């Protein structure tokens, strides 16, 4: 198939997708118009009064700030949508919430800038906001959601709602702590295997995750051929034996250890490891993204791994650290950094990942901090420098596509990536999302997106 034919096929797919989006938007407008015709009680219809002994009631399916609607409206709507009455009730609430609480998002939806189903999910994620708070969120964030993937749009909404409802979310977190539990359930299909489910404090979970990684590293260095998941599961089992876990976590075992059938821990020389008073500490890093507005309102910030972090939660995390807490200064992610080696330094790698936060392929949800992520030189070495303006996180598939399959990648400005596919499609990507055209200058040079603070905590298991 020729390149022109491929381009025609993908253009047809895009055209059909646009047609579907426009039809969805028109249906949204039609439902809103139907809501308007049922927004008041019909008190002059004798037939209706005769059929409903107590009269039709006005109900409020939407959240704060939305108008009432007659209680049987959703039954009519269900017939026209071809869905259940319950689903029609959800449609009614979503339309009212979008139109009255999020007018900017509503218009973006009608303009087909954001899919209807994504806008509905966003409005549901903001249900707990008051009318005033919903309008505040709408004015500050709705247009920023347009270019994000659906997953990131909803996650961003949940984060911002949590920061707006800082005190309420803190009370919710404290209540959730009382519901923590650990459950062991024998696997129903495989004898000798037990499934484990647990609710933990986010800080404790991060600490446990780090300890499992540390133990897995020791076991791997000791010669184990098991997969990473197997090693982590084995490590969790070793934690059930505190003395054995202490043996494995000795600082002297960076070169590996093995566990004998009798449960003894031996080093590479075959010597039984004796626990010492020296305790192995592994570092935990907390990265907080905060805007000047968050700081002014005392709302906390967004953690890369923990999600929304209230001020009280941050205090608890720092209080629980048994080691040294090191606070790094605010990092200006817009400042250019370059090294004279092909491999980026740790500082440069961190800056690029903090700046981009996700894999820089169109509409990717992959974290820049995940496994299998490469910091790719946009202009290949040796012509291209190892600098913040010439690096970007790519997963292996997108990396191979540009290296071997004819995908073209440019970085017109630091953190903004321009893709051209072999079939002639184009997209521009930054951590703000994906565009079919160059992104607006105010997003490229957004100072609020260029600041990040990291806390390094050396903690003791």
pLDDT in tens, 325-351: 777 767 777 788 889 998 999 889 989
pLDDT higher at 17 or 308: 17
Distance of alpha carbon 344 from alpha carbon 352, whole angstroms: 10
Residue 52 is predicted with a pLDDT of 46
- Interatomic CA distance for residues 411 and 415, integer angstroms: 7
d(CA 215, CA 247): 10
Interval 48-93: pLDDT, tens = 444 444 567 889 999 999 999 999 999 999 999 999 999 999 999 9
Q: Write down the mean pLDDT value for the chain.
A: 82
pLDDT recorded at residue 313 = 76
Complete DSSP assignment for 206-242: HHHHHHHHHHHHHHHHTT----HHHHHHHHHHHTTSH
Report helix, strand or coil for 194. strand
**Among candidate residues 311, 304, 43, the one with its CA nearest the CA of residue 170:** 311
Lowest-confidence region among 321-335, 398-412, 426-440: 321-335
Q: How would residue 24 be classed by pLDDT, with cut points 50, 70 and 90?
A: very high
Greatest Cα-to-Cα distance within the chain, rounded to the nearest angstrom = 95
Q: How far apart are CA 221 and CA 240, in angstroms?
A: 21
- The half-sphere exposure of 48 on its side-chain side, counting CA atoms within 13 A, is 11
Band (216; pLDDT cuts 50, 70, 90): confident
Least confident of 216-225, 245-254, 352-361: 245-254
User: Is the pLDDT score of 125 beyond 90?
Assistant: yes
Taking residues 107-134, report their average pLDDT: 96
């Amino acid at each position: 198939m020729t390149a022109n034919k491929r381009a025609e096929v993908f253009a047809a797919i895009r055209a059909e997708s646009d047609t579907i989006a426009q039809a969805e938007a028109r249906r949204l407008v039609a439902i809103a118009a139907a809501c308007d015709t049922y927004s008041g009680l019909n008190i002059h219809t004798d037939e209706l009064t005769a059929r409903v002994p107590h009269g039709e009631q006005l109900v409020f399916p939407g959240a704060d700030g939305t108008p009432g609607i007659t209680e049987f409206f959703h039954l009519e709507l269900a017939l026209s949508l071809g869905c259940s009455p319950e689903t029609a009730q959800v449609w009614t609430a979503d339309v009212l919430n979008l139109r009255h609480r999020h007018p900017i998002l509503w218009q973006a939806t009608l303009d087909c800038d954001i899919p209807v189903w994504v806008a509905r999910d966003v409005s549901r994620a903001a249900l707990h906001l008051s009318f005033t708070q919903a309008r505040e969120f709408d004015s500050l964030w709705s247009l920023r959601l347009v270019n994000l993937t659906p997953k990131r749009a909803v996650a961003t909404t949940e984060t911002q709602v949590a920061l707006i409802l800082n005190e309420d979310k803190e009370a919710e977190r404290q209540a959730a702590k009382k519901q923590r539990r650990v459950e062991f359930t024998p696997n129903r299909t495989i004898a000798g295997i037990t499934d484990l489910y647990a609710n933990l404090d986010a800080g404790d979970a991060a600490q446990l995750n780090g300890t499992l990684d540390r133990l897995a590293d020791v076991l791997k260095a000791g010669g184990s051929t098991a997969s990473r998941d197997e090693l982590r599961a084995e490590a969790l089992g070793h934690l059930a034996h505190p003395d054995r876990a202490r043996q494995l976590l000795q600082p002297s075992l960076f070169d590996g250890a093995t566990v004998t059938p009798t449960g003894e821990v031996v080093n590479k020389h075959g010597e039984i490891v004796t626990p010492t008073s020296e305790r192995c500490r592994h570092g935990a890093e907390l990265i907080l993204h905060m805007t000047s507005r968050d700081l002014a309102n005392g709302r906390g910030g967004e953690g890369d791994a923990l999600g929304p972090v209230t001020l009280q939660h941050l205090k608890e995390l720092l209080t629980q650290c048994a080691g040294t807490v090191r606070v790094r200064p605010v990092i200006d992610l817009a400042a250019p950094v370059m090294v004279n080696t092909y491999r980026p330094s740790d500082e440069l790698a961190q800056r690029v990942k903090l700046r981009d936060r996700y894999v820089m392929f169109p509409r990717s949800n992959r974290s820049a901090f995940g496994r299998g992520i490469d910091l790719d030189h946009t202009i290949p070495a040796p012509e291209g420098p190892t600098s913040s303006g010439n690096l970007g996180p790519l997963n292996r598939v997108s990396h191979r596509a540009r290296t071997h399959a004819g995908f073209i990648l440019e970085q017109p400005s630091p953190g903004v990536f321009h893709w051209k596919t072999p079939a002639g499609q184009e997209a521009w990507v930054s951590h703000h999302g994906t565009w079919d055209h160059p992104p607006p200058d105010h997003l490229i040079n957004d100072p609020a997106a260029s600041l990040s603070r990291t806390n390094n905590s050396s903690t003791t298991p």
